[in-house]
């Protein structure tokens, strides 16, 4: 538990977490345990709510919401994932009361005016089309739709043109009333104000807020047969994603998987796939791997974008690298170096105030606590060569593939 982060439960049962950090910028927001996985047949609803929550409350019009933080040099932002929605603000210190009052108004009193929804529908449609114009993004969406077929985790977060037209003010209000509830949200803040002041503000703006959670059931994705599919798109490059479903965020095996991911195709230019595919052969500009962990399942993927004539060669190099990691244990010296690199990256990332604020809220929401970088690093350092090998064996030769040509 990070001793700099204080967790407090408000009178209505809503959790709040605050970290006092002295500086010129502060953050305040709410993390909601609701995303595209929870929207039922109304695909894109969670994301549409995230957009339109800024379009009017019972106390403010859209223009007043837009201006409230901008007038002091701050920003108001939000994003939606498969299982989460975050609404937050960053602002010059001294404006915590203004930010918290605004965010409380948004999550408690949004009215979703139909005339504003019509305009925002066009904005979201442009967002959908922009992703379709970007094959490196679209291939991920289509891959998830295939690998999680029949499950809400496979749904595109943005929805599509048809589903977007069916999203109404009533549906937005129902979604927020059912899922933006005290027990399903965490208030988070980072700034120079005293913790006692932050929690007093929290009680004032959130403590009497009352709603009952009504969540549709989340079903665990079925294990489906492997697939290998190629689709024709209008693109100069070939875009390939391979991947396999994994366990969820509460499984301790995640530390070996996260370390494997960093070694295989993490952000470092010395990742195995970047060296093998880009640096050694020049076959691709971008090659990366990723691990996404949900509450009860997860996904590990590898992506590369290359000229069509090099796509098969890239895939062979991925196979060769995975087979090597899965068939033999890594030497201790190399393993220690990989752990040191990952620990250093975590430490550098912890200096981001925005990253700290957002991860704090999500951590309390999912785990009820905030881990320190040292605690996470200790778990990474405890990974054995055998555990790393076993993690590689879960994907080597067992993955599914989607290629856009």
Q: pLDDT tens-digit profile of 33-70?
A: 999 999 999 999 999 999 999 999 999 999 999 999 99
User: Which pLDDT score is estimated for 211?
Assistant: 94
Average pLDDT over every residue of 96-113: 98
Average pLDDT over every residue of 20-43: 96
CATH code assigned at 324: 3.30.830.10
Q: Is 239 in the same domain as 194?
A: no
Smallest Cα–Cα separation from 365: which of 57, 124, 83? 83
Q: Is 197 in the same domain as 237?
A: no
pLDDT tops 80 at residue 1:
no
The pLDDT confidence band at residue 217, using thresholds 50, 70 and 90, is: confident
- Note whether residue 376 is domain-resident: yes
Q: Is 198 in the same domain as 232?
A: no
- Note whether residue 221 is domain-resident: no
- Note whether residue 218 is domain-resident: no
User: Which pLDDT score is estimated for 281?
Assistant: 98
Residues 250 and 291: their CA atoms lie apart, in Å, by: 14
Q: Is 132 in the same domain as 233?
A: no
Q: Is 307 in the same domain as 235?
A: yes
- Note whether residue 373 is domain-resident: yes
Q: Is 133 in the same domain as 238?
A: no
Q: Is 264 in the same domain as 173?
A: no
User: Which pLDDT score is estimated for 269?
Assistant: 97
* Listed residues 148, 173, 206: the one ending a domain: 206
Residues 260 and 312: their CA atoms lie apart, in Å, by: 23
Q: Regarding beta strands 298-307 and 237-246, do their DSSP bridges make them parallel or antiparallel, or are they unpaired? A: antiparallel
Average pLDDT over every residue of 66-90: 98
Count up the domains in the chain and report the number: 2
Q: pLDDT tens-digit profile of 390-405?
A: 999 999 999 999 999 9
Q: Is 190 in the same domain as 295?
A: no
- Note whether residue 156 is domain-resident: yes
Q: Is 175 in the same domain as 233?
A: no
pLDDT tops 90 at residue 216:
no
User: Which pLDDT score is estimated for 215?
Assistant: 84
Q: pLDDT tens-digit profile of 348-383?
A: 999 999 999 999 999 999 999 999 999 999 999 999
Q: Is 377 in the same domain as 269?
A: yes
Average pLDDT over every residue of 82-110: 98
Percent of the chain with pLDDT over 70: 100
pLDDT tops 90 at residue 115:
yes
Residue 289: strand pairing partners: 302
- Note whether residue 222 is domain-resident: no
Residue 31, domain extent:
5-206
Q: Which two tokens stand for residue 213?
A: 């959670």
Phi-psi region of 28 (alpha: psi -120 to 50; beta: other; left: phi over 0): beta
User: Which pLDDT score is estimated for 104?
Assistant: 99
Phi-psi region of 280 (alpha: psi -120 to 50; beta: other; left: phi over 0): alpha
Q: Is 263 in the same domain as 377?
A: yes
Q: Is 100 in the same domain as 247?
A: no
User: Which pLDDT score is estimated for 272?
Assistant: 98
């Amino acid at each position: 538990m990070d001793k700099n982060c204080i967790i407090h439960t408000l009178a209505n049962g809503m959790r709040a977490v605050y970290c006092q950090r002295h500086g010129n910028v502060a953050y305040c927001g709410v993390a909601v345990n609701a995303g595209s996985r929870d929207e039922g047949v109304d695909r894109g609803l969670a994301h549409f709510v995230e957009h339109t929550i800024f379009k009017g409350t019972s106390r403010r019009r859209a223009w007043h919401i837009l201006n409230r933080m901008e007038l002091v040099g701050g920003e108001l932002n939000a994003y939606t994932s498969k299982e989460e929605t975050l609404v937050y603000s960053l602002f010059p210190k001294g404006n915590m009361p203004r930010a918290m009052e605004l965010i409380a108004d948004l999550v408690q009193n949004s009215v979703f005016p139909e005339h504003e929804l019509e305009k925002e529908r066009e904005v979201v449609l442009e967002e959908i089309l922009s992703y379709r114009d970007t094959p490196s993004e679209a291939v991920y969406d289509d891959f998830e739709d295939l690998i999680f077929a029949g499950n809400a985790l496979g749904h595109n977060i943005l929805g599509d043109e048809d589903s977007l037209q069916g999203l109404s003010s009533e549906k937005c209000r129902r979604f927020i009333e059912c899922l933006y509830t005290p027990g399903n949200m965490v208030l988070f803040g980072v700034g120079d104000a005293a913790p006692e002041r932050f929690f007093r503000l929290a009680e004032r703006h959130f403590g009497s807020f009352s709603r009952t959670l009504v969540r549709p059931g989340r079903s665990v994705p079925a294990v489906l047969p492997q697939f290998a599919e190629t689709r024709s798109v209008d693109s100069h490059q070939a875009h390939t994603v391979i991947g396999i479903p994994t366990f969820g965020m509460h499984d301790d095996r995640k530390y070996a998987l996260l370390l494997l991911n960093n070694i295989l195709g993490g952000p470092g230019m010395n990742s195995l796939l970047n060296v093998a595919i880009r640096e050694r052969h020049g076959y691709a500009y971008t090659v990366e791997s990723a691990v996404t962990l949900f509450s009860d399942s997860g996904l590990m993927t590898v992506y590369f974008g290359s000229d069509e004539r090099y796509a098969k060669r890239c895939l062979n190099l991925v196979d060769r690298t995975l087979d090597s990691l899965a068939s033999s244990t890594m030497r201790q010296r190399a393993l220690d170096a990989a752990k040191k690199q990952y620990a250093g990256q975590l430490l550098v990332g912890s200096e981001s105030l925005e990253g700290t604020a957002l991860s704090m809220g999500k951590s309390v929401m999912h785990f009820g606590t905030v881990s320190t970088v040292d605690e996470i690093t200790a778990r990474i350092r405890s990974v054995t060569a055998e555990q790393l090998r076993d993690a590689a064996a879960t994907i080597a030769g067992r993955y599914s593939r989607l290629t856009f040509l």
